Amino acid sequence: MANELQSYSDQMAAAVEKAGRSVASVDARNHVPGSGVVWSADGEIVTADHIVQRDENITVTLADGSTHTATLVGRDPGSDLALLKINAGGLTPAEWNDNAKVGNLAFAVGRPGDLQASLGIVSAVGGPVHGRRRQIEAYIQTDVIMYPGFSGGPLVDASGRVLGLNSSALGRDASIALPLSAVKPVIEALKTHGHVKRGFVGVHTQPVRLAPPMAERLKQETGLMIIGAEADGPAAKAGLMQGDVLVGLGDKPITDIDDLQAVLGPGSVGKTLKAKVIRGGELKEMNVTVGERG
């Protein structure tokens, strides 16, 4: 029994050690450094946006102890992700596992100084979450302890593969990590544009209940009443006006603000989408070309 426990313990230590080769310390604020994960062998480091509190004088310390000056490639506050670049090659990119399951063992790993880890389990896998402040496509919730400096570091499985990127800014009462499916599109956008393009139609709305006959027809109980349309905004240009009730955009039903934010994701900018609205008790359709949120 003792040998089995020791073997299990050694396997856990080996998993943290493997992941640790791709975990860096990121000094971009005035207190405890945060952590980062090697994204590519040629010096790309992904980290949490909230720990990058300055755009210059950023340093990254790799697992081998070498310290490098980093440039900020781009950042996305909505997903709390940032991409840094150092002038280094031959790095060890993290091996990702984009298949977290509830009940999996998981380590939060950080390198605010020396390598550190805490153990827990995956308690939930969910998403997307679309709101005015947060725009994430998927998340992993765990009960790991996020020690100071762990944000930007990886959530690691029992084989040393990265399940997600940890962020203390994404959850109040739980530890939250972003899986590869949520991280990769943002990083690709940051590499291309330096920011994430998100859609904008220029309306102010409030949720309303639909009249029973229309609710039955559309198979949804609520929509968004337009209480204001910005002059020269995409919606106003398309003919949408105050008092219209938006019930669909593109091929998606719109029942609340989260539905609207979900449609206006990074891939929506520049697309022409069919808006379905109720006006005077009648259903109308108009084409809206999505703009970019400033």
Q: Are residues 184 and 164 in the same domain?
A: yes
pLDDT-based confidence at residue 271 (cuts at 50, 70, 90): very high
Q: Which of the residues are catalytic?
A: 50, 80, 151
Same domain, 188 and 208: no
pLDDT surpasses 70 at 132: no
* 3-state SS track over 185-197: HHHHHHHHHCCCC
What is the arithmetic mean of pLDDT over 24-30? 96
Of the candidates 152, 158, 182, which has an alpha carbon nearest to the alpha carbon of residue 103? Answer: 158
Q: Cα–Cα distances in Å, from 226 out to 84, 165, 283?
A: 40, 37, 15
Q: Are residues 203 and 146 in the same domain?
A: no
- Assess whether 184 and 69 both reside in one domain: yes
pLDDT in the model for residue 148: 95
Give yes or no: residues 154 and 243 share one domain: no
Report pLDDT digits (tens) over 201-250: 999 999 999 999 999 999 999 999 999 999 889 999 999 999 999 999 99
Domain end point (choices 174, 193, 212): 193
Digit-coded pLDDT (tens) for 12-24:
999 999 999 999 9
